[in-house]
């Protein structure tokens, strides 16, 4: 469960909007607290955006829906937003409630401002089409990995950025620069895919790209064999290096943000992700169990990530940790050293350090502490799962 909606907002909300926040808290492992810390009407828009994508994702995840039914549903899902009575009662997924009571969610969607509706409908359409495409094919090349991550997470980053700009809490350029927004989603999604290797292969899911693993093994699941450790680590480090190339864009994106609640919302998942990626780098545990970041470490990150200077320091710290663990014999060594060097340059420079310090006041530190406390229950059960946009895709 996430944060309770504060009393002032709750009393001014319709019954159906209150129900939407109830579903948000029931379905989001990590997103509820940060959504409910957003300012003003943006909070409602992001809540509805989350629930619409959670419903879409529930259709994608449900293996009991035959392909000939599922593909048209994914392609047409955005049209259900404007069909007042549309619902789906045949799902067996844990989050099926958002499909069974979709009329409540679609009603609140239609109550949003037109600018918010346009963003949510467009992203839902593009994501549904992308999900349908990848239902029928595996992630093969590195380019396809980027494309898959774009559909399930990059589009979330783009949609959120457009909502930030539509709310006027952020400048128009935040919503217009889709490349940076896409990188925000890709960094989170790739981190989750890398960390979840073992969990995924145990249920016959494959999200590591074949172009990467086929250099080191005949089958993806072979990397979990104890006699394949050197090959497994080489493949792991190749993918971590690929994920790290999004970090400079993440830094540029965060430096543009002006609203404190939006900054916290965006920065917390990103610092969790780099901490998780650092924990995974060159770590045999990825192939043997679950790689977690400690609860105390996670809460500290949440409390610190409230201004640009602090975020740069965190990024610098974890990139330095990875630098010290680069093996002399790793095939990706040169690429890894190069991208870590770029990140160090971006995080240790003073160029953007001053851009956010003026926005920080002691009040925000206490708000961050409250946020960390509210998220404690989430952390105590699923520590090591970076919250944020990629969570929308159940990864």
Count H helices, E strands: the chain?
23, 0
Tell me if residue 126 falls in helix, strand or coil.
Answer: helix
State the helix-helix crossing angle for 142-149 and 114-135, rounded to 10 degrees: 140
DSSP 324: T
Nearest C-alpha neighbor of 356 from the set 256, 250, 248: 256
Whether 72 and 88 have beta carbons less than 8 Å apart is answered as no
Tokens 């619409």 -> residue: 52
What DSSP letter does each residue of 184-253 carry, written as one string? Answer: HHHHHHHHHHHHTHHHHHHTT---S-HHHHTTT-SSGGGGGSGGGHHHHHHHHHHHHHHHHTTHHHHHHH
Catalytic hit among 23, 77, 116, 148? 148
158 token code pair: 């783009």
CA dihedral of 146, 349, 173, 46, whole degrees rounded to 10: 70
Nearest C-alpha neighbor of 187 from the set 99, 247, 264, 104: 247
Half-sphere exposure of 92 (CA within 13 A, CB side): 5
Active site residue 148: yes
Active site residue 205: yes
Catalytic hit among 23, 80, 253, 265? 265
Catalytic hit among 205, 219, 294, 325? 205
Catalytic hit among 195, 207, 318, 378? 195
Q: Distance between CA 348 and CA 208 in Å, rounded?
A: 32
Sign of CA dihedral 300, 303, 305, 308: negative
Nearest C-alpha neighbor of 187 from the set 306, 83, 275: 275
Q: Distance between CA 326 and CA 217 in Å, rounded?
A: 21
Q: Distance between CA 94 and CA 96 in Å, rounded?
A: 6
Q: Distance between CA 249 and CA 182 in Å, rounded?
A: 9
| Alpha-carbon distances, residue 58 vs 27, 46, 100, 264, 278 (angstroms) | 11, 18, 11, 27, 30
Tell me if residue 27 falls in helix, strand or coil.
Answer: helix
Provide the annotated active-site residues.
148, 195, 205, 265
């Amino acid at each position: 469960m996430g944060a309770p909606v504060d009393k002032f907002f709750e009393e001014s909300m319709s019954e159906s909007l209150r129900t939407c926040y109830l579903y948000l808290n029931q379905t989001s492992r990590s997103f509820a607290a940060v959504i409910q810390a957003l300012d003003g009407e943006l909070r409602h828009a992001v809540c509805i955006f989350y629930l619409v994508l959670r419903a879409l994702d529930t259709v994608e995840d449900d293996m009991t829906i035959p392909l000939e039914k599922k593909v048209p549903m994914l392609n047409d899902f955005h049209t259900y937003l404007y069909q007042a009575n549309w619902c789906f009662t045949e799902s067996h997924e844990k989050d099926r409630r958002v499909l069974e009571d979709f009329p409540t969610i679609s009603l609140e969607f239609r109550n949003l401002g037109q600018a918010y509706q346009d963003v949510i409908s467009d992203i839902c359409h593009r994501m549904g089409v992308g999900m349908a495409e990848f239902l029928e094919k595996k992630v093969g090349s590195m380019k396809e990995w980027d494309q898959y991550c774009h559909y399930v997470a990059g589009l979330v980053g783009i949609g959120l950025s457009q909502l930030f700009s539509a709310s006027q809490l952020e400048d128009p350029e935040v919503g217009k620069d889709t490349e940076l927004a896409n990188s925000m989603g890709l960094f989170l999604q790739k981190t989750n895919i890398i960390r979840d290797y073992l969990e995924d292969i145990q249920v016959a899911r494959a999200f590591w790209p074949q172009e990467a693993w086929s250099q080191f093994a005949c089958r993806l699941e072979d990397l979990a064999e104890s006699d394949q450790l050197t090959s497994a680590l080489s493949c792991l480090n190749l993918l971590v290096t690929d994920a790290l190339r999004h970090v400079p864009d993440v830094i540029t994106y965060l430096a543009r943000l002006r609203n404190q609640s939006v900054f916290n919302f965006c920065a917390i998942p990103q610092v969790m992700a780099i901490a998780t990626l650092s924990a995974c780098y060159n770590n045999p545990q990825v192939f043997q169990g679950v790689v977690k970041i400690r609860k105390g470490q996670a809460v500290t990150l949440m409390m610190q990530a409230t201004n640009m200077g602090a975020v740069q320091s965190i990024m610098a710290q974890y990139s330095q940790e990875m630098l010290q663990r680069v093996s002399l014999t790793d095939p990706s060594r040169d690429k890894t050293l190069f991208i870590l060097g770029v990140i160090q340059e971006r995080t240790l420079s003073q160029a953007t350090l001053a851009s956010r310090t003026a926005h920080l006041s002691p009040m925000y530190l206490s708000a961050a502490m409250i946020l960390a406390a509210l998220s404690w229950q989430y952390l105590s059960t699923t520590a090591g799962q970076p919250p944020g946009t990629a969570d929308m895709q159940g990864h």
